[in-house]
Amino acid sequence: MRLWDVRPSVLQRFPLVRHYSRALLPLMPRAFDRFDLSSFDVVITVSSAFSKNVRTKNGTTNLCYCLTPPRYLWDLSDQYFAGGGARMLASPAIRWLRAVDRRAADRVHTFLAISETVASRVQRAYGRTATVIFPPVETDRVRPSGNAPEDFYLVVARLVPYKRIDLAIAACNKLGRRLVVVGTGPDRRRLAALAGPTITLLGSLPDDEVAALYARCRAFLFPGFEDFGITPVEAQAAGRPVIAFGAGGAAETVVEGVTGVQFREQTVDALVNAIERADTLSFDPARCRANALRFDARVFRERIEAVVATSLGR
């Protein structure tokens, strides 16, 4: 039974919209502006683009839970539009969309951000302060097993280049350590070609099997950059330490020397050194789980409800 009242925008009617959504970017601000939200006292927009552009009546509070300001307009525009020709053609559209995005931000009364990393981007892009409310993690779904860890490392991720799973594979190849990779994606063929005899790519698995792997692994490897990153928290909820690139969300969720180890450069040698450093440390499963509980879905609900209650009081 459907529990949500889903009302898509007019853009949903465009043919092949799922495959060519970027072509509709110039139309997205107007599409959100067309939604009639005049009957609501509080509107929460979850935004990595233009949903914050919704129009509300006077007195309505617009809360924006910001996943990030649009990466293709702000901090990663050079990567999205690489090449001199593409950049030159895209520049007028980027300037216009940035101006539109800033005006949309002016409609927001309160910005909430998924991490300090995103809060700093909100400040740079919009000149606004954002309150950090970490995303909800279902920690009850993943628990320590009570058994000693087995001798393998774990990665759970979509197989795409920016996740830097190639670093995990190369480091475990170099050390001769067992690595289990769970996930599917367009980078699978390349990663399989890099994998040595100690690397296993399992593809997609049911949630309960992934939870069991979290609890059994020696440590969880997280070599990519994420604005938050759910999987390192899930690994800690299972009582296991995380060896993570120490930037973005992982720098906020992994406690150095207590629930894991952070490395500062996305290189094979840096990850190898971090794995070897973790070998010299002892990690308490209870402390790992206690840290993960800071990000539990219950905490998220309580903090969101408190913000909404304050807004209604206003």
Q: Are residues 99 and 116 in the same domain?
A: yes
Q: Which has the higher per-residue pLDDT, 110 or 25? A: 110
Q: Are residues 198 and 65 in the same domain?
A: no
Q: Are residues 120 and 146 in the same domain?
A: no
In a domain? residue 4? no
Q: Are residues 198 and 289 in the same domain?
A: yes
In a domain? residue 201? yes
26-40, 109-123, 197-211: which has the minimum mean pLDDT? 26-40
Average pLDDT over residues 97-107: 89
d(CA 110, CA 130): 7
pLDDT exceeds cutoff 70 at 90: no
d(CA 275, CA 284): 17
Q: Are residues 65 and 197 in the same domain?
A: no
Measure the N-to-C terminal CA separation of the chain; round to a whole number of Å: 36
| Structural domains in the chain (count) | 2
Average pLDDT over residues 251-271: 97
Q: Are residues 129 and 145 in the same domain?
A: no
Dihedral angle computed from the Cα positions of residues 158, 251, 236 and 208, in that order, rounded to the nearest 10 degrees: -20
Q: Are residues 124 and 92 in the same domain?
A: yes
The pair of three-digit structure tokens given for residue 281, joined into one six-digit string: 């440390």
Band of pLDDT at residue 79, cut at 50, 70 and 90: low
Q: Are residues 179 and 213 in the same domain?
A: yes
pLDDT exceeds cutoff 60 at 173: yes
0.85 cut: is pTM over it?
yes
In a domain? residue 2? no
CATH code of the domain in which 117 resides: 3.40.50
pLDDT exceeds cutoff 50 at 187: yes
Q: Are residues 122 and 175 in the same domain?
A: no
Band of pLDDT at residue 119, cut at 50, 70 and 90: very high
Q: Are residues 56 and 200 in the same domain?
A: no
Q: Are residues 117 and 228 in the same domain?
A: no
pLDDT exceeds cutoff 50 at 85: no
How many other CB atoms are there within 10 angstroms of residue 275's CB atom? 22
Q: Are 191 and 184 in contact (CB under 8 A)?
A: no
pLDDT exceeds cutoff 50 at 240: yes
Which pLDDT belongs to residue 312? 84
CATH code of the domain in which 256 resides: 3.40.50.2000
Average pLDDT over residues 235-261: 97
Q: Which domain holds residue 246?
A: 139-295
Q: Are residues 248 and 264 in the same domain?
A: yes
Mean pLDDT across the chain, nearest whole number? 90
